[in-house]
Amino acid sequence: MLFHRFFRCAAGALLLCAAAASAQTYPNKAVRVIIPFPPGGPTDTVGRMLAQKLSEQTGQSFIVDNRPGGQGIIGADAVAKGAADGYTLLFSASTFTTTPMTLKSSPYDVTKDFVPIALVGKGPLAVSVNKNLPIKNIKELIAYAQAHPGKMSFAIGSQASAGHLSTELLKRTSKIDYLVVPYKGSAPAYQDLIGGAIDGFIDPVLGALTYHKSGMVRVVAVTSRERLPSMPDVPTVAETVPGYEFYSWYGLWGPAKLPPDVIKRLNAEVNKALASDLRTRLAEQGYLLSPGTPEDFARFEKEDMARSAKIVAEAKIRAE
């Protein structure tokens, strides 16, 4: 009896030592970072920049694997079903948490099948209008919409995206009405906004900045709490609609049961990357960086999901 008890204790100690050794040497091979969207978009751009810095810092390759489809569901599900060893991770945007809210059923549970590792940053959105409209700021946009109830049209690049929820929130907080028109991506939405087929579009600043600077569309406001250094002359929505604030945000997740030491190592490496030259490069594109602990990210995620769920329910947003 004593021998068996000793053997079990010794075996347990060996497992703990093996786990500790594994965490100390992590990563000791290439890490796959699944991005559930096509190359070239904001999520892919930020994810690749982060993966490059993590590769430089750890000496191991963090390889981006684009897995588009199902509004991000396909790529995320691959991570949920992957091994919880730290070698298959998910880099995604806030749509990762909101899209399942619009589905009748989802192959995974955001809070049960994933563990938050690090919040990377928040991307303010830009409220753009067709340049030929007599609208130069949010106050004029609200007045125009009130004078033409139900006549204005706003594009959304994808269902349950930050731009979609922000568009619905603006409608409710400003007490105005406009038609919400879904598009398959931001590019065709901008084409119709420039051409005048659509009146407005709320999309990440990164996408709107080029069109605004070239004069093809007019950005009348940003959704951040404060004005952005990249667009200092553009007011915030909150300057006209008190309390209004909305972001697209980006983070790194792992499958549930990821070892705590691996989570801690990855979080430290992400924070280190956000303190490097990556900080300047992202800030120049309008991103607000959000270094912090995994616990900080978990709290942020929970609060954001609660607010988003309210908007989804009130607007009756359902996946097509």
- Going along the chain from its start, the domains and CATH numbers come out as 29-122+249-315 (3.40.190.150), 124-239 (3.40.190.10)
Q: Please indicate whether residue 194 or residue 8 has the higher confidence score (pLDDT).
A: 194
Average pLDDT, the chain: 91
Residue 141: phi and psi, rounded to 5, are -65, -45
Q: What was the pLDDT predicted at 207?
A: 82
Q: How far is CA 136 from CA 91, 179, 217, 224, in A?
A: 36, 20, 11, 18
Q: Could you tell me the pLDDT band of residue 71, with boundaries at 50, 70 and 90?
A: confident
Distance, CA of 123 to CA of 164 (rounded, Å): 14
Q: Please write the tens of the pLDDT for every residue from 161-184.
A: 999 999 999 999 999 999 999 998
pLDDT at 283: 85
The span from the CA of 311 to the CA of 173, in Å, is: 11
Residue 266 scores a pLDDT above 80: yes
Specify the range with the lowest mean pLDDT, choosing from 34-48, 75-89, 106-120: 34-48
Residue 244: pLDDT above 90? yes
The pLDDT of residue 306: 97
Mean pLDDT of 233-237: 96
What is the structure's pLDDT at 23?
54
For 153, the token pair is: 């049209």
Instruction: Write the pLDDT tens digit of every residue in 268-320.
Output: 999 999 999 999 988 887 888 989 999 999 999 999 999 999 999 999 998 86
* pLDDT (mean) for 38-45: 87
pLDDT range class, residue 221, cuts 50, 70, 90: very high
